[in-house]
């Protein structure tokens, strides 16, 4: 079963063979275009290569969107939400009608990969169903309810489900909110107001919010765009939006009048953010969190659930997820590996398998992030030989740990690439958390990104509670408070607001050599963690291949590159 997200943002492919998730990868990692919107032909080929299959061997293709199944409702919703101006209404209607061409567009995208073989049958899955099943099937507990919150589906932007019938029963849809009444649209519009790109840079706004403080002026302005009712339901002020634009990062999501009302002196003459920008981001983040908590409480009130899954693009907001988990509204809260539309490629495949009564992968397999392309020692050596750079063979984990303890910044490339937004030990840049300057050094010489953005710690799970207000957070999915010990011992991973976004690394972590690296570092320094950020520079995707890693290493301030047990020193580049 091949799962696809395509024809919009976050294109990806996932392959399930005989009840096993064999591979999953985002298109951007293959074509090397950050936030690529290309048809995921490269991603499809990559997952097939991992399985040693051809597209003609695939039984069915599951697609993560279903305008055909909801055409009438989608067009009716478009009429209700459409702007008064004729051009805007026409654009929205065209968007809805374009979805009906998805079968032909997907077929055209897959045709070059078939080599003359017949195309597999194409199954359509409602977008929120794809999100739901990705979260439900991967939950480490028997989920009782689900909350899907994103920018938009075919019709809905928010869906609440009752799952108390169990995995064998169909989910019961309790209530929905229609696009564009959407927390995702709200936060995307805020992202644009701060000069960032919607549908990709929302996480930067979350980081910016950490520097802000409560400000009545900006809280009122944000309140004019998003309010949370007494019933817990967030409501976006629809007249402030241009709904026909809210699926494109290139167009303004807010009306000119709303932009004037909500804009402010967000940049200084030198381009740096002002205190108003920080406070505006703070107010927006606070509103998003209140909206998400309101929905979670509403779901619990309607179902009595204590075990809930949360999914959709809004679930990528780690600060909101951390607050939801700490709120005590539910006993258990699960966010899947990739809650974005990329992860809906997995969900679509799972939904079709479930629909056909076929076995699903076990939950533990669906939470293993290391399902991307992998490269053996022979391929790593061949890439190094072709680069004509001198390299040495070492014990990678031990050597890298010693280098980090000595103050070096290292690129770590080992095993199969992660699926999802986070670098979790296969494609990482690593540094010493004991030195506050590590954060600034990585930002300035490697990542070349905004200085206000923090870096995450990867900590041995059994030591996590000594440093962070969590004992388990294996995929960097939540922001939590740090302890006084963290402030004293690992300042590089403590954000300005006294929080961190940790990855806890258990003893049975699939990336065993990454766990071994942290253990070596702990033996050397007494500190059971390293700074871990994704292996890429600004405006590039995470590296996928050895050649990607070598290019990134050459153009950055990294001191060493580890490709498995091979190491290249920056001196090999003459600097």
Percent of the chain whose predicted confidence (pLDDT) is above 90 = 89
pLDDT digits (tens, 9 = 90+) for 409-466: 999 999 999 999 999 999 999 999 999 999 989 988 887 777 778 899 999 999 999 9
| pLDDT over 80 at 83, yes or no | no
- Topology of domain 2-128+344-366 in CATH is Nucleotidyltransferase; domain 5 (3.30.420)
Alpha carbon 186 to chain centroid, angstroms? 18
- Topology of domain 140-335 in CATH is Nucleotidyltransferase; domain 5 (3.30.420)
> Any idea where the domains of the chain sit in the sequence?
2-128+344-366, 140-335, 377-573
Those residues with Cβ within 8 angstroms of residue 117's Cβ, 6 or more apart along the chain or in another chain:
54, 55, 56
Q: Is the dihedral of CA 141, 142, 144, 148 positive or negative?
A: positive
pLDDT digits (tens, 9 = 90+) for 508-520: 999 999 999 999 9
Q: What does the alpha-carbon distance between residue 221 and residue 281 come to, in Å, rounded to a whole number?
A: 11
| pLDDT over 70 at 88, yes or no | no
DSSP state of 321: H
**Is 9 a known active-site residue?**
yes
- Token pair recorded at residue 54: 């051809």
pLDDT for 414 = 98
| pLDDT over 50 at 575, yes or no | no
The CB-based long-range contact list for 55-59 (8 Å cut-off, 24+ gap) reads 55/2, 55/110, 55/113, 55/114, 55/115, 55/117, 55/120, 56/114, 56/115, 56/117, 56/118, 56/120, 58/1, 58/2, 58/15, 58/120, 59/1, 59/120, 59/121
Strands 392-393 and 172-178, by their bridges, are unpaired
347, 3 in Cβ contact below 8 A? Answer: yes
Q: Do domains 140-335 and 377-573 have the same CATH topology?
A: no
What are the φ and ψ backbone dihedral angles of 43, each rounded to 5 degrees?
-65, -40
Integer angstrom CA distances of residue 457 from 39, 245, 271, 444, 531? 34, 38, 30, 18, 5
pTM: 0.95
Question: CATH for 377-573?
Answer: 3.90.870.20
pLDDT digits (tens, 9 = 90+) for 480-500: 999 999 999 999 999 999 999
């Amino acid at each position: 079963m091949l799962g696809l997200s395509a024809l919009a943002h976050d294109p990806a492919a996932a392959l399930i063979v005989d009840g096993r998730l064999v591979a999953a990868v985002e298109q951007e990692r293959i074509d090397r275009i950050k936030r690529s919107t290309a048809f995921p032909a490269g991603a499809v080929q990559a997952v097939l290569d991992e399985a040693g299959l051809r597209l003609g061997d695939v039984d069915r293709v599951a697609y993560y969107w279903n305008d055909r199944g909801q055409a009438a409702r989608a067009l009716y919703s478009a009429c209700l939400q459409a702007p008064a101006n004729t051009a805007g209404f026409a654009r929205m209607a065209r968007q809805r009608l374009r979805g009906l061409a998805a079968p032909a567009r997907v077929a055209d995208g897959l045709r070059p990969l078939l080599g003359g073989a017949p195309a597999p049958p194409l199954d359509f899955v409602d977008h929120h169903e794809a999100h739901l099943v990705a979260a439900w099937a991967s939950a480490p507990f028997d989920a009782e309810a689900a909350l899907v919150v994103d920018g938009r589906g075919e019709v809905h932007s928010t869906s609440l489900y009752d799952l108390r019938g169990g995995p064998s029963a169909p989910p019961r849809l309790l209530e929905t909110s229609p696009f564009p009444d959407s927390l995702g649209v709200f936060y995307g519009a805020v992202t644009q107001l701060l000069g960032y790109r919607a549908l990709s840079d929302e996480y930067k706004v979350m980081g910016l919010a950490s520097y802000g403080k409560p400000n009545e002026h900006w809280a009122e302005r944000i309140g004019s765009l998003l309010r949370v009712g007494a019933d817990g339901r967030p409501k976006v002020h629809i007249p402030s939006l241009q709904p026909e634009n809210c699926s494109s990062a290139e167009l303004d999501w807010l009306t000119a009048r709303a932009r004037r009302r909500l804009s402010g002196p967000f940049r200084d003459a030198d381009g740096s953010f002002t205190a108003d920008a920080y406070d505006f981001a703070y107010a927006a983040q606070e509103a998003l969190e209140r909206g998400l908590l309101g929905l979670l409480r509403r779901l619990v009130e309607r179902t009595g659930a204590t075990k809930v899954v949360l999914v959709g693009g809004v679930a990528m907001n780690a600060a909101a997820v951390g607050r939801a988990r700490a709120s005590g509204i539910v006993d258990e809260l699960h966010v899947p590996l990739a809650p974005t539309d990329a992860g809906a490629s997995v969900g679509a495949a799972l939904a079709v398998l479930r629909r056909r009564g076929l076995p699903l992968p076990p939950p533990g397999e669906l939470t293993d992030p290391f399902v991307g392309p992998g490269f053996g020692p022979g391929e790593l050596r061949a890439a190094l030989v072709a680069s004509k750079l001198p390299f040495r063979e070492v014990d990678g984990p031990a050597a890298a740990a010693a280098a980090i303890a000595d103050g070096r910044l290292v690129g770590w490339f080992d095993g199969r690439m992660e699926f999802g937004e986070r670098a979790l030990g296969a494609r990482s840049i690593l540094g010493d958390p004991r030195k506050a300057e590590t954060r600034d050094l990585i930002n300035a010489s490697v990542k070349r990104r905004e200085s206000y953005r923090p870096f995450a710690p990867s900590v041995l799970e059994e030591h996590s509670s000594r440093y962070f207000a969590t004992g388990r957070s294996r995929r960097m999915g939540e922001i939590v408070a740090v302890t006084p010990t963290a402030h004293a011992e690992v300042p590089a991973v403590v954000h300005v607001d006294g929080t961190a976004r940790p990855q806890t690394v258990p003893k049975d972590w699939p990336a065993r050599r990454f766990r071994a690296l942290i253990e070596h570092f702990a033996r050397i320094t007494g500190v059971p963690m390293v700074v871990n950020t994704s292996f890429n520079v600004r405006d590039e995707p995470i590296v996928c291949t050895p050649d990607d890693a070598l290019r990134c290493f050459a153009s950055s301030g990294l001191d060493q590159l580890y490709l498995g047990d091979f190491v290249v020193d920056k001196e090999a580049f003459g600097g």
